[in-house]
């Protein structure tokens, strides 16, 4: 019997056909009108991703860091621009994760005028990204997944610095 916790176990990359891993938690600050200002903080809450994703169609994409050029200029804007097209394909939830804390992720959402259309979450201590082996040093990697009622139907990790297999065009094709 192993006593190794999932975040300390050897990386186990995911692929299409796998079930979304059990025990995955993120942290985020839900949008509220009281916290609409970029300078208001809110309180981080746990988000039980494994549970929440089990009965939804989800697009999950990860970026190495909020407010960075590749993430803010190349990666995130495509998902914002194509929100209605993504939703029209039956997607219930769009989630972006990064290694940044919940306050930074909340501010990044506000800086992009996003309220609830995309959930901006932290991969706390990069536990999930480490678990699947998709990191960039101490940061989350750049990757994307489509999870359909707990089953992964698309999972791709960027090998280089470009936004290709994790970008909105690849995700839309996978939907």
For the stretch 42-45, contacts whose Cβ atoms lie closer than 8 Å and that sit 24 or more positions apart, written own/partner, are 42/103, 42/106, 44/101, 44/102, 44/103, 44/122
Instruction: Give the residue numbers marked as catalytic.
Output: 71
How far is the C-alpha of 48 from the C-alpha of 38, rounded, in Å? 25
Separation of CA 128 from chain center: 10
- For residue 49, the surrounding DSSP H or E stretch is helix 49-53
CB 101 within 8 A of CB 122: yes
3-state secondary structure of 141: coil
Nearest in space to 118 (alpha carbons), one of 156, 157, 144 = 144
């Amino acid at each position: 019997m192993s006593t190794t916790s999932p975040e300390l176990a050897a990386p186990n990359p995911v692929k299409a056909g796998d079930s979304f891993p059990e025990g995955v938690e993120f942290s985020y600050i839900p949008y509220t009108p009281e916290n609409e200002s970029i300078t208001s903080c809110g309180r981080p809450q746990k988000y039980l991703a494994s549970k929440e994703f089990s009965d939804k169609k989800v697009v999950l994409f990860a970026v190495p860091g909020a407010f960075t050029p590749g993430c803010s200029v190349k990666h995130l804007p495509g998902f914002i621009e194509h929100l209605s097209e993504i939703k029209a394909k039956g997607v219930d939830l769009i989630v972006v994760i990064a290694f940044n804390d919940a306050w930074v992720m909340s501010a990044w959402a506000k800086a992009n005028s996003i309220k609830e259309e995309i959930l901006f979450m932290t991969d706390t201590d990069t536990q999930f990204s480490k678990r699947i082996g998709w990191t960039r040093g101490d940061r989350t990697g750049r990757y994307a997944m489509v999870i359909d009622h707990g089953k992964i139907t698309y999972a791709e990790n960027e090998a280089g610095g470009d936004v290709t297999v994790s970008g909105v065009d690849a995700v839309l094709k996978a939907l």
